[in-house]
Structures are given as C-alpha cells and as structure tokens.
C-alpha cells in the first residue's frame, strides 16, 4: 500500500525524486486523500523546512501531536482548492475519507484536542455546525482563515498559533532552533525575490535540477515561465558530460551498448532538430544494487505485477484471445511438421538411443511453426505525463508481448523518455529472448520528457536491420511530444539543442512516422492521453491510430489493427 501512496504523492507533487515521508503528520498515511494532500504540500511548500520546524517543537510542548494536527489542517485548508482544481478526481478520495472519518467519530468521541479539531474542521467543510468549546472554536477559526502557499508565511503563522494556544518551554535550546529555521526560510525567500520586477531568481542545486528534468516540461513549463535560474555560488553546478552521464546512469541504469556504437548511431540519427542529443541504451541495471533508484525500480515492478495478479484471469483471457486473432490473420501461412521430442508418438527405431546415448528424444510430435516472417516492436512513451497510467501501460504491454511470443513471433519492447540532453532507451526484451523476459515490462516507469520523433527515427533504423519481411511498430503514447532543454541556467553551458515543443514537435513526429511507413514498416499509434490532445494524435498517425478510453481494451484494439494488416497482405 505504501508504494502506491508514495506514487500518488509523487504524481500530485509532480516531483518523482522527492524522498516522501508518509509519517510527517503523526501516524503513517493510509488514505488516498491524505496522500494527495501531502503531494500538494510537497508541490507548494518547502517541506524539508516544514518538517524541521515541526520536529524542533517535539520537546517544546506536551501538545506536540496536537501541533502536528494544526499544521496538517492549516496546510490542507490553504491548498485544497488548488488541489481540486488541478486534480478533480481527488473529490472522490475526499468524500471516501470524510465518510470514514464521520463514521469513526459517530462511534467514538474525540480523545484529545487534535481529534476534536479534526472532527470540527471536516464538519465545517461539510456545512455542519460542530459542538465545540470557545477555545477550540477560536483555534479552528484561525486555521480556516489562514490561506497561503508561502512557506515562510506558513511557519510564522504556526509559530504564532503555537505560542498563542500552548505553553512553550522557552528556556529549551530547541526554541532557538525554531527561530533559526524561520530565519533560514526568510533568507532564502529574500534571495529568490532579488532582481528586477519581472525576473525571479531561483537557487538550485543538482538534486533540484534533476527534479526539474524528471518532472518534465510537460508539467513545469508554466511554473518556470519567465524565470531565470541561477546556481548558488557555494553550490556550483558544472554540467560536464561526465556529470550528466553519471546522473543518467544514477536514475536509469548503466548503458549496455559500446560507446563507439552509440556515437555512430548519434551521428546518424541525432540530426536536424535533434542535433546534439545524446543516446543512452539501458536495461535498467544499476552499478549499486542498494541504490535508491534500484530499490524504487523493485517497488514499481512489484506494484505493477501485483496489480496484474489482481485481475490475472481476465488478462490471461486477453492474451489467449489476441493470440487467436494473430494466428488466424497474420499467421495464415504457417508450416506443420514433425519434430523429435521427449513425448508424443514413440519411434521404435530410436529406442536404443535412450539406452546408449544421452539423447532422450525418442518420440515425435506435430509442431506448427507460427514464427512466419514477422517482427513486432513495441515502443512505450515513458515520459512523466504517463505516470498516472503507469501500471496499466505496463500490464497491457505485457499482455500483447505474451500473445506475440506465445506464437514465436520475434518481439522486442522498448520505452523512451528524455532526461537533460539524453534520449533514454530502456530495453525490456529482445527478439530472441526467452518468454521469461516478458516480466521485465513490469519495470516500466514514467518520468522526464519525450522526443517522440527521435525515438521513432531511432527505432526505424534498428528495425530496418532485422531480416523479417513484415515489420510492425506499435507506439503507445499520449500525443504530447514535448522536450524543453533550454532551462535558461546562468553558469551552465548551453546544450545547443532546440526545444522540442508545439508545432515543431508535432511536425517532426508526423514526418518520422511517415518515413517509417514509407520504409515498409506498419505503424500503429495507440493513444492513451487526454481527449484534448486527441487531434494531435490524429494528425501524427492518420488512419493508423487507435483511441484507448480504457487501457484494458488495448489488446483488443491491437488485435483489430494486426488483423487489418493481414487483410492487406493476403
């Protein structure tokens, strides 16, 4: 459960690298609604400072737990409207949480000030007049009247509330610590506000810069619009090639391809609008098996796999149905013949082999070669905008791959996303891999931005090198090619790469899809995004395009597409 709640926090915060603390407010969060609230807090507040501020009060008052509740409700009250505006689906979580809360307090009275405040807060939010004493009412009014997304204003407000309603042991050393934390936040805010009236100066370290890139410009372009980013003098960031490569390997795993081969591909593929983009080919293997990103990859794998197992019977039915469609369409011209086997019809003349040699294949059985002359490549958009559909995409890609490999069709699966000046290509399985490799797909993870056109151009080049006559490329994307590399960082070298946005990105992706088709490769674009981006997907893929309103129908749609290819061939 905690893994899923962490993903929800990351999704709402739009920060996929933050180390989430689910226990920042008393007990560990166990509800979707509270995870969403924590996510919006991480998005707007400087949570490390908030956490330090709250922990500094641990020995200052006997009402520490009540203070945590006040802080939690104050932040929720400030951000709930913004959360619902950004994520309307949270309303369902909110309703479910409030129903459970009201049921709890209908059977058990509040035991302390924190619980009394919590009950009264949600009653007021639901237009119910709470039965509380005057002191609690005054405290609740203060909470309801406070609305700010500013960290400094939040901490100053909480300090005033704590001093007003609780006895603070001002002779303890921690009191000075609280004051110092507020001073630090104030200093940071003043530094950010320096500069002209039209210019905001943000101070970033390497972790924050990585966070921005992983979040992707799809989410952050508005946030950083008209913003100039400067690196603190005492935390200088030198974006050397070595540093960037190390950062890519830290987040996505080491490269499996020789550097000389990568450079040849870059020279051939990374041209035009993609000039100076680097390629990184990985299988998701990390230098340090105990690293944070390695552990996170395992968590995501288990989460995706467990979600598959929850409805395994239905998915296996989908695999079987898709296999039948493929067998009866694309694989009409198959060959049947007998092969030696360890079971089947006994070949009397071969019995001696089992006695005098290690050959135990003294039977023959009928074998149908479904291999045909077909290869299928599946390309998964792994940019941050797919994060909410991460598990579903992994499951459906697995279903299709299982159906194809069941028929011995050469199948290869990649995902792609962009990180800094790198296109990251993650390989899950290759043409001749065992079916056991299919489960690697459950390690699919969404982050960063996406240059769809470059990924398609690269895959086309790789597909052309195989020997199959019939080549198929299935691309699962949300129709939002977007990669901004020009972050406007003072003190950091310019990557020299054109921003990949708007009409430029759309036109480039369309051109590369068209070139792929002209080279005899059948292309299917499977759309999994928002309806507002539907027209973009249509422009890119034309008639070879499927709109998926429910990802569980992905295998059915693909089956129809593959059947249409067969109709053209036979």
Three-class HEC string of 217-235: HHHHCCCCCCEEEEECHHH
pLDDT digits (tens, 9 = 90+) for 250-275: 889 999 999 999 999 999 999 999 99
pLDDT of residue 359: 65
Tally of CB atoms within 10 A around 261: 12
pLDDT mean over 126-151 = 91
Task: Report the CATH number at residue 391.
Answer: 3.40.50.410
pLDDT mean over 450-457 = 97
Domain boundary (161, 189, 217) is at 189
| Whether residue 551 has pLDDT greater than 80 | no
Q: Kindly state the tokens that stand for 495.
A: 């990557």
Residues 24 and 44 in one domain: yes
| Whether residue 372 has pLDDT greater than 60 | no
pLDDT of residue 208: 54
Global pTM? 0.59
Q: Kindly state the tokens that stand for 303.
A: 């989460």
pLDDT of residue 171: 55
pLDDT of residue 366: 62
Q: What distance separates the 2 farthest-apart alpha carbons in the chain?
A: 99
| Whether residue 510 has pLDDT greater than 90 | yes
| Whether residue 112 has pLDDT greater than 50 | yes
Residues 555 and 528 in one domain: yes
CA 526 to chain centre: 18
Query: In degrees to the nearest 10, what's the CA dihedral of 90, 95, 100, 106?
Result: 150
Residues 299 and 355 in one domain: no
Residues 344 and 383 in one domain: no
Domain boundary (189, 223, 248) is at 189
Domain boundary (162, 189, 216) is at 189
Residue 513 to residue 351: CA distance in whole angstroms: 56
Residues 328 and 423 in one domain: yes
Alpha helices per DSSP H over 134-205: 134-145, 151-165, 173-193
Residue 347 to residue 131: CA distance in whole angstroms: 88
Contact 446, 214 (CB under 8 A): no
CA distances from 56 to 18, 157, 354, 417 (A): 22, 16, 77, 41
pLDDT mean over 171-190 = 76
CA 177 to chain centre: 37
- What does pLDDT average to over the chain? 82
Residues 131 and 234 in one domain: no
pLDDT of residue 386: 87
Residues 248 and 345 in one domain: no
CB-based contacts of 260, cutoff 8 Å, min separation 6: none
Q: Which domain holds residue 507?
A: 194-334+370-570
Q: Kindly state the tokens that stand for 133.
A: 């004493």
Q: Which residue has the tokens 């992707």?
A: 216
Residue 492 to residue 209: CA distance in whole angstroms: 11
| Whether residue 491 has pLDDT greater than 90 | no
pLDDT of residue 257: 96
Which of 196-210, 424-438, 541-555 is predicted with the least confidence, judged by mean pLDDT?
A: 196-210
CA distances from 392 to 222, 379, 387, 444 (A): 28, 15, 10, 10
Pick the closest to residue 429 from 394, 387, 383 (CA basis).
394
Residues 382 and 470 in one domain: yes
Give backbone dihedrals phi and psi of 292, rounded to 5 degrees, phi first: -60, -45
Sheet of 278-282: strand order equals 278-282, 422-429, 410-419, 374-381, 470-477, 521-527, 545-547
Number of domains in the chain: 3
Residues 220 and 72 in one domain: no
Residues 136 and 249 in one domain: no
Residue 120: pLDDT band (50, 70, 90) is very high
Which of 29-38, 207-216, 286-295, 417-426 is predicted with the least confidence, judged by mean pLDDT?
A: 207-216
pLDDT mean over 522-543 = 84
Beta bridge partners of 562: none
Residues 239 and 157 in one domain: no
CA 265 to chain centre: 27
Q: Kindly state the tokens that stand for 87.
A: 């994520």
Tally of CB atoms within 10 A around 83: 23
Alpha helices per DSSP H over 311-430: 312-329, 351-356, 390-406
Give backbone dihedrals phi and psi of 288, rounded to 5 degrees, phi first: -105, 105
Residues 361 and 280 in one domain: no
């Amino acid at each position: 459960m905690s893994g899923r709640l962490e993903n929800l926090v990351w999704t709402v915060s739009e920060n996929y690298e933050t180390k989430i603390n689910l226990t920042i407010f008393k007990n560990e969060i166990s509800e979707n609604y509270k995870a969403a609230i924590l996510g919006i807090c991480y998005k707007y507040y400087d949570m490390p400072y908030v956490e330090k501020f709250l922990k500094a009060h641990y020995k200052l008052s006997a009402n520490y737990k009540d203070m945590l509740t006040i802080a939690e409700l104050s932040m929720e009250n400030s951000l709930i409207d913004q959360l619902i505006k950004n994520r309307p689906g949270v309303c369902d979580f909110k309703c479910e949480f409030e129903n459970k809360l009201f049921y709890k307090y209908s059977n058990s009275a509040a035991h302390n000030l924190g619980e009394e405040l919590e009950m009264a807060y949600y009653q007021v939010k639901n237009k119910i007049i709470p039965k509380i004493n005057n002191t609690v009412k005054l405290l609740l009014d203060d909470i309801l009247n406070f609305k700010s997304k500013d960290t400094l204003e939040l901490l100053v407000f909480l300090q005033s509330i704590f001093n007003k309603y609780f006895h603070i042991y001002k002779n303890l050393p921690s009191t000075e610590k609280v004051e110092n934390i507020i001073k630090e936040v104030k200093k940071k805010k003043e530094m950010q506000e320096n500069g002209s009236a039209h210019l905001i100066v943000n101070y970033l370290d390497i972790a924050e810069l990585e966070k921005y890139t992983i979040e992707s410009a799809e989410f952050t372009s508005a946030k950083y619009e008209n913003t100039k980013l400067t690196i603190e003098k005492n935390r200088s960031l030198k974006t050397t090639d070595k540093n960037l490569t190390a950062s890519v390997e830290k987040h996505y795993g080491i490269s499996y391809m020789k550097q000389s081969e990568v450079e040849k591909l870059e020279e051939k593929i990374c041209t035009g609008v993609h000039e100076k983009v680097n390629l990184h080919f990985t299988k998701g293997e990390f230098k340090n098996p105990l690293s944070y990103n390695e552990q996170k990859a395992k968590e995501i794998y288990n989460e995706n796999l467990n979600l598959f197992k929850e409805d395994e019977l239905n998915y296996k039915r989908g695999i079987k149905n898709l296999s039948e469609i493929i067998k009866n369409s694309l694989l009409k011209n198959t060959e049947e013949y007998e092969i030696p086997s360890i079971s089947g019809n006994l070949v009397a003349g071969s019995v001696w082999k089992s006695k005098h040699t290690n050959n135990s294949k003294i039977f023959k059985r009928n074998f149908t070669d479904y291999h045909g002359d077909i290869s299928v490549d599946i390309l998964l958009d792994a940019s941050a905008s797919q994060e909410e559909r991460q598990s579903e995409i992994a499951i459906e890609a697995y279903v299709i791959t299982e159906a194809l490999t069941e028929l011995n069709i050469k199948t290869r699966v990649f995902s792609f996303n962009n990180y800094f000046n790198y296109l990251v290509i993650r390989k899950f399985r290759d043409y001749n891999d065992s079916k056991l490799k299919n489960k690697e797909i459950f390690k699919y993870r969404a982050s960063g931005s996406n240059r769809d056109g470059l990924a398609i151009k690269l895959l086309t080049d790789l597909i052309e090198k195989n020997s199959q006559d019939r080549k198929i490329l299935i691309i699962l994307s949300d129709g939002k090619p977007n990669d901004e590399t020009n972050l406007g960082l003072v003190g950091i070298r310019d990557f020299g790469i054109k921003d990949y946005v708007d009409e430029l990105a759309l036109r480039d992706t369309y051109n590369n899809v068209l070139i792929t088709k002209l080279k005899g490769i059948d292309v299917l674009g499977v759309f999994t995004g928002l309806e507002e981006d539907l027209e973009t997907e249509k422009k890119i893929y034309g008639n070879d395009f499927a709109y998926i309103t429910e990802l569980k129908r992905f295998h059915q749609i693909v089956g129809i597409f593959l059947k249409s290819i067969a109709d053209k061939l036979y």
